[in-house]
Structure 1
């Protein structure tokens, strides 16, 4: 028997067994590992970090009896909630999960265009931005053409919180979209805002 040939065949089989499914599992394991430790960022006064799970996500968020991050399964996503006079009041959506039929960020354009504040004149398009998370691609929605020029002229003299019907860039507040390579059929909208958010944006794990 040709032992070197047998060894080569076995090696190929072993390498072949680590296909896309196995790589996907590895990426999910790496992403889930970010949940093992509490965020390094100190919580706001009177709040504490807690692990939140739901809507196909898991992440760390700051919670207190009066102010907290809650999950919405119908959105699906998460929002900030404040208790006023004993009643919960939703303040702001901070996370939202979208399906990507073709596993491309551009799939979202038709969905977002259904927003009543959407303007075709802005010519909004996605641009890749830097990501500090391995296995996570980030994109910012930005106006193009004359709308981009008009934005830059205004932004040089005044704060602009958002563009593209609230989904796009601004010079006063941060928001972006993510695609986790472990779940390429979904995109995640992340609203950071003007200050450090109540959730840890680098701990978000899509299940």
Structure 2
């Protein structure tokens, strides 16, 4: 798929600049830290950070005591994550072909990674999230709120990129998440005064009967 190849190549190109850009991001984002803290507390077992980039969120989850690992499409990002967090496991992979066993994790984190997946592929990714989660497992998605798609051609450090950023309305994403078999437990709005705001969705799979 062209979008996958473009996304992988783009993030390989900007990997080091991106890692520098996000190195202190959580220090400036108390509500994001709170969401990750809640995720770590509510997921009873191993968790995976899908689209982990250089591993900043994975590392934070581990610092909270979570058994956290990461997966990213970009080999360069995975290399940086392994260097920064050698005690954690990071693998190269795609959320649309998630190479994890069924019911193998208690939590899936997709923080601003689903934004690069086209609308018609979102159900595929959500289906994999549902498949790998245990009964009662927790899914947390961070995303940009809005409408339409923006092509990003220049990225961190001024390097060339070619990635599409898909803005989504909360009602649309919620509908896709429910269709995939989740129950939505909470939705947070971040920076709602910003023209392009952000949101975090918390959803859970059904418990075993």
Structure 1 length normalisation: TM-score?
0.29
More strand by share: 1
Larger Rg: 1
Structure 2 length normalisation: TM-score?
0.29
More helix by share: 2
